[in-house]
Structure formats: C-alpha cells, structure tokens
C-alpha cells in the first residue's frame, strides 16, 4: 500500500491535464471542427498561468488567465477557419507552431524559477477515510473541477437541447443551417470552449504536475489528447478512462526508476507515445466503428452559399 497510494496519486496528476485538453477538444470536434492546435493552446496556458502566479501569487488569477490564454488562441483559430475559410489541418498546425514559439518567447525569464505548487484541498470527513480518502478526497481543486467537467459535458451533450444542436451542427452542418441554426456562431463557441479547456490543461501542467516552466513542457500531451478523443470514440466517459490510462502509462517511468528496474529512462519515456500509436491502431482498424461515432462533418469547411 505504501507504494501504491503515491503511484495512484501521481496517475491522477498526470491524467488531469490530458483530461482537460481531451474533453475540450472533444466538444470542439463534436461541433465538426478539428483543431490540431491543442498543443499550442496548452503550452500557452502553461506559460501564462505560471507567469501570473509568479507575479501575482494568486492561483485563482492564474487559472483565469490561462483559460483566457487558451480561449484567445482558439479565437485566432476560429477566426481563420470560420471567417477566412482556411483549411483546418494547416491552421491547427500553425496554431501549435505559433504557440510553442510565443510561449518560449514569453517564458524566457521564467526558466528555473521555483514554485511550490497549488494547495491540495482535503474534503472534511471524507478525506479521513483510509486509502480512499487520501486518494480521492485530498486533491487540488483542479482535479475536482476536471471530474466535474466530465459529468457536466456528458450532461450537456446528451441531455440538453443546446448539446443536441451542437451535435447536429457537427453531424450535418447543412441540415443545421437549413433549420436556422447559426453554424458559425455555434462552432465559434465550441472552439472557444475547447481552447479554454486546453488552457486549463496547460495551467495544470505548470502549476501542479511539475510546478515550473520549461520550454515545450507539454511534450506532445496536446497530441496525445487529440489521439484520446479518437480512442474514446467521442464519448465523454471513455475520455475519462483514456486520460487515466495514459496518465498511468506516462508515470510508469518515474516508478520504474524508483523501483530500480534497469530499463533506460529514454525507453520508458517512449511508452506514452508508443501506447498512443497502439491504441489508435486498435480503435481505427474498425472503420465502421469510427464512421459511426465520429461527427459526420468533422473537418469539413462550411460556407452557407454552398
């Protein structure tokens, strides 16, 4: 037990940024837009959150600014894709390249500054339960927020009318347009929400997971989040499962070293990337399953006159 509880705790911290980003991207994709800029939005969230907390000392302000940073990045994307009708794949790539560059520029004075990390909140009574208490009821509030978002997004998409409209826009933008819904407005909001969530995911990385700033500290997590959405077949519950699965894989290296397993650290670091490829292969090989679950208009441009 002494080994497992810390291990499970690190899984939770490793999974949370993936969960935020993948949930956000899933909502964006549900509206029919493929935003490949997740990595760029996350890394911007990370640097903005860290800079804010360094200068103001306020964690809540840092959360707000990171959400804004992600949303602003997403606004750029939305502007290009929805207003200028740029194609989604290269625009998303541009967003990632731009975000990595800008975050490196903004963060040049932040390298090497220590930060103690955001405080954990112990829920009264529940946190005193042995094992379960320290695992699930003594976390920082972003972990609780990420789990609440799983429920909220599931409820929104499956049980509410706006959620139904969002899915309709993603499945057939022409039909939704014909019914009088503003495809552009709805997609704009979905992209913005996705960006905000990616900003939050980035903030979790630089505030809690490894409280510091390193250039490109997202290290491909944005891309793993994108793969998670496919892995989850665009379903909220499976995004949660996938994020924790990958959180588990990505912390294996820490614990393998601690246990003295003689595998080179580089090989252990490869695991999350290899696992991403493997799950993609397993999920994608069933073409009909992907076709049934993917939003039918995903990645297709929309212009009302066509």
Partner 1 sequence: MVYLSPVLALVLSLLAGVVLFYIMGVSPLAALHAFFIEPLSTGYGLAELGVKATPLVLIGVALALGFKAGVWNIGAEGQLTMGALCGSLVALYFYDQDGFYILPLMLIAGVLGGMAWAAIVAFLRVRFNANEILTSLMLSYVAGLFLNLMVHGPLKDPEGFNFPESRQFSESALLPIILDGTRLHVGAVIALLVVAWGWMILSRTLLGYQIKVAGSAPEACEHAGFSFSGIIWTTLLLSGGVAGLAGIIEVSGPIGQLLPNISPGYGFTAIIVAYVGRLHPIGVLFAGILLALTYLGGETAQIQLNLPVAVTGVFQGLLLFFLLASDVLIRYRVQFGKARLAVENK
Residue closer to partner 1 (CB basis): 63 or 239: 239
Between CA 82 and CA 187 the distance in angstroms is 8
CB of 281 to partner 1, least distance (A): 5
CB of 278 to partner 1, least distance (A): 10
Residue closer to partner 1 (CB basis): 99 or 170: 99
CB of 262 to partner 1, least distance (A): 13
Residue 202: closest CA among 134, 147, 261, 142: 142
What residues contact residue 250 under an 8 Å CB cut-off, 6+ apart?
14, 271, 272
The tokens for 47 are: 């640097």
CB of 105 to partner 1, least distance (A): 4
Residue closer to partner 1 (CB basis): 72 or 102: 102
Q: Helix, strand, or coil here: 139? A: strand
Virtual torsion, Cα 233, 234, 235, 238, nearest 10 deg: 60
Residue closer to partner 1 (CB basis): 276 or 297: 276
CB of 125 to partner 1, least distance (A): 44
Residue closer to partner 1 (CB basis): 5 or 263: 263
116-133 CB burial, b ≥16 within 10 A, e <16: ebbeeeeeeeebeeeeee
Virtual torsion, Cα 134, 139, 220, 193, nearest 10 deg: 140
Tell me which residues touch partner 1 (CB under 8 A).
Answer: 36, 76, 80, 84-87, 89-91, 93-95, 97-102, 104-105, 108, 215, 219-220, 223-224, 226-227, 230, 264, 266-267, 269-270, 273-274, 276-277, 280-281, 284-285, 287, 290
């Amino acid at each position: 037990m002494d080994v497992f509880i810390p291990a499970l705790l690190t899984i939770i911290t490793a999974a949370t940024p993936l969960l935020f980003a993948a949930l956000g991207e899933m909502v964006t994709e549900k509206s029919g837009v493929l935003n490949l800029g997740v990595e760029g939005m996350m890394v911007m969230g990370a640097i903005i959150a860290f800079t804010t907390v360094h200068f103001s000392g306020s964690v809540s302000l840092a959360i707000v600014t990171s959400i804004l940073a992600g949303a602003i990045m997403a606004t750029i994307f939305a502007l290009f894709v929805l207003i200028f009708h740029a194609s989604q794949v290269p625009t998303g790539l541009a967003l990632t390249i731009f975000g990595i560059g800008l975050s490196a520029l903004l963060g040049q004075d932040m390298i090497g500054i220590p930060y103690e990390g955001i405080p954990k909140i112990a829920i009264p009574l529940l946190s005193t339960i042995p094992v379960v208490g320290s695992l699930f009821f003594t976390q920082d509030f972003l972990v609780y927020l990420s789990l609440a978002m799983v429920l909220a997004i599931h409820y929104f998409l499956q049980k509410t009318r706006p959620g139904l409209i969002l899915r309709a826009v993603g499945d057939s933008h022409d039909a939704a347009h014909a019914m009088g819904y503003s495809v552009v407005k709805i997609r704009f909001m979905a992209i913005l929400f996705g960006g905000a969530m990616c900003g939050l995911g980035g903030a979790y990385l630089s505030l809690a997971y490894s409280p510091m700033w390193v250039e490109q500290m997202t290290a491909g997590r944005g891309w793993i989040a994108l793969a998670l959405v496919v892995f989850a077949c665009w379903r909220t519950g499976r995004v949660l499962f996938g994020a924790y699965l990958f959180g588990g894989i990505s912390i294996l290296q820490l614990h393998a070293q601690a246990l003295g397993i003689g595998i080179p650290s580089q090989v252990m670091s490869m695991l999350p990337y290899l696992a991403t490829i493997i799950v993609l292969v397993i999920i994608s090989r069933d073409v009909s399953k992907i076709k049934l679950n993917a939003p039918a208009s995903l990645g297709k441009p929309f212009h009302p006159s066509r």
